Amino acid sequence: MASSAATRPHRRPIPSWLPQAVLYCFSAGCLVWVLHGYPLRDLVTAIAALDFRWVLLAVGFDLSVYVCHGWRWNTLLAPVVRLRLWRTVQAVYIGLFANELLPLRTGEVIRCYLLAHWNNFRISLSLSSAVVERLMDGLWMVAAFAITAGFVKTIPADLTLLVRALAVLLVLGAGVFCWVVWHKQDAHAEIGQGRWSSTLRHVEEGLHLMGGLPTLGKTMLVSLLYLLLQVATVWALMKAYGLDLSFWAAFGVLTVVRLGTVIPNAPGNLGLFQVACVVALGLFDVEKNDAKTFSFIMFFSLTVPLLVGGAVATALAGLNLGELRHRAARTAQAARHQAHP
C-alpha cells in the first residue's frame, strides 16, 4: 500500500494566474469582436452629440441604485442588526469599485467583509445575506426576461435555454432557502458534524434570522425598486443618445445585459458587457454600429461615476483595495479554520 501511494502520480495544482489569464483573453476577444470594422470616430462624434440633460438624469438614477442597494441590505438584515445607511452604502460602493478593478467580482467578498467588520458580526452572516440578495435579483431578472420575451419574438434559442436553466437553479435555491428557514431543527440535523458544519450552521442561523415573511416581503419590494432604477438609467441613456425605444425596451436591454454578464469575468465585465449590449439592442432592430456606440456610452456612463464614488468611499475608509482584498481573504480563511480547527 505504501509503495502504491508513493508511485501515485502527483497532480499539479492549477496555477493561480491561469483563471485570470483566461478571463482577460476572453475579454480581449470580446473587445476585438465589438471593435472589428467599427469606426472609433463615430464614438467621439456620438459623445459630443449626446443630450447631457438626459445623461445627468441617468447618472442620478444610477447613483440612487447604490443607495437603494444599501437600503435593501439594511432591510434584509434588520431582524439581526441595526445598520447605518451611510456605512452600508459605503460598503456597497467599495465592493462595486473593487469589481471594476479586480477580476472575478472580488468586491462581493470585500463588501461583505466591510459590513461585518464595521458592525461587529460574523462574515458568514454577511455572505449569506448577499446570497439572498442575489437570489432575489435573479428571480426578478427571470421575471423581467419573461416580460421581454412576451413582446420580442427574436430572442435567440440559446439565450432562452440559458434563462430556463437559471430559472431552475433559482427555484432550487429558493426551495433550499425556504426549507432552511421553516425547518430549522431538520437543517441542524442535516448539517451534522462535518468538516464545514460550523460555517454552514452560521449560515443557516443567519438565513433563519433573516427569513421572516415580513422581512422577505419588504426586501423583495425594495429589490423591485432596485431593478426599476437600473431600467430608468438605461432608458435615460437611450434618450440621451437619441434611440427611439420605450421604457419596456430598456427593460429588455438591461435584462439581456445582466444575464450575459452573470458569470464572474474580467474587471467591469469589459468586452463581455459590450457584446451583451450589442446583442440586446439587436433584438430591437438597432443597427449594429449604433448598438456598438451605445454599448460604450452606457459602459462609460455607468462606470465613471462608480469609479469616482468608489474611490472616494475607499479613501474615506482609510484603506486601499489591495489591503482590503488581503483582509477579506484573511477573515474568510480564519472563518474556515474555526469551522474545522
Q: Classify residue 100 by burial, with Cβ atoms within 10 Å: 0-12, 13-18, 19+.
A: middle
Residue 188 confidence (pLDDT) above 80: no
Q: Classify residue 22 by burial, with Cβ atoms within 10 Å: 0-12, 13-18, 19+.
A: exposed
Residue 80 confidence (pLDDT) above 70: yes
Residue 15 confidence (pLDDT) above 80: no
| Residue 104, pLDDT score | 78
| Residue 169, pLDDT score | 84
Residue 257 confidence (pLDDT) above 80: yes
Q: Please give the share of the chain, as a percent, with pLDDT higher than 70.
A: 83
pLDDT category of residue 11 using cuts at 50, 70 and 90: low
| Residue 20, pLDDT score | 78
Residue 203 carries which side chain, given as an amino acid letter?
Answer: V
Cell numbers 439592442 correspond to what residue? 281
pLDDT category of residue 336 using cuts at 50, 70 and 90: low
| Residue 340, pLDDT score | 46
Mean pLDDT of 236-264: 92
pLDDT category of residue 278 using cuts at 50, 70 and 90: very high
Sign of CA dihedral 147, 150, 154, 157: positive
**Residue 202 CB-half CA count within 13 A:** 16
Q: Residue 332: name the closest of 122, 139, 173 by CA.
A: 122
Q: 122: how many CB neighbours lie within 10 A of its CB?
A: 17
Residue 94 carries which side chain, given as an amino acid letter?
Answer: I
C-alpha 313/C-alpha 95 separation (Å) is 10
Q: For the chain, how many residues are written?
A: 341
Q: What 3-state class would DSSP assign to 231?
A: helix
C-alpha 130/C-alpha 108 separation (Å) is 8
C-alpha 74/C-alpha 213 separation (Å) is 16
pTM of whole model > 0.75?
yes
Residue 195 carries which side chain, given as an amino acid letter?
Answer: R
C-alpha 44/C-alpha 22 separation (Å) is 31
Bigger pLDDT: 156 or 310? 310
The DSSP string of 236-247 is HHHHHHT----H
Residue 196 confidence (pLDDT) above 50: no
Here the cell at position 79 is 431582524
C-alpha 289/C-alpha 249 separation (Å) is 18
Here the cell at position 152 is 420580442
Long-range contacts of 300-307 (CB under 8 A, 24+ apart): 301/55, 301/58, 301/59, 301/62, 301/237, 302/62, 302/233, 303/100, 303/268, 305/59, 305/62, 305/63, 306/62, 306/66, 306/93, 306/96, 306/97, 306/100, 307/97, 307/100
| Residue 175, pLDDT score | 75
What is the per-residue pLDDT across 203-228, written as a single tens digit (0 to 9) for each?
A: 556 666 666 778 888 999 999 999 99
* Mean pLDDT rounded to a whole number for the chain: 84
| Residue 1, pLDDT score | 47
**Residue 141 CB-half CA count within 13 A:** 25
What is the per-residue pLDDT across 300-330, written as a single tens digit (0 to 9) for each?
A: 999 999 999 999 999 998 888 888 888 887 7
Bigger pLDDT: 14 or 134? 134
Residue 114 confidence (pLDDT) above 50: yes
Q: Taking every pair of C-alpha atoms in the chain, what is the biggest distance, in angstroms?
A: 75
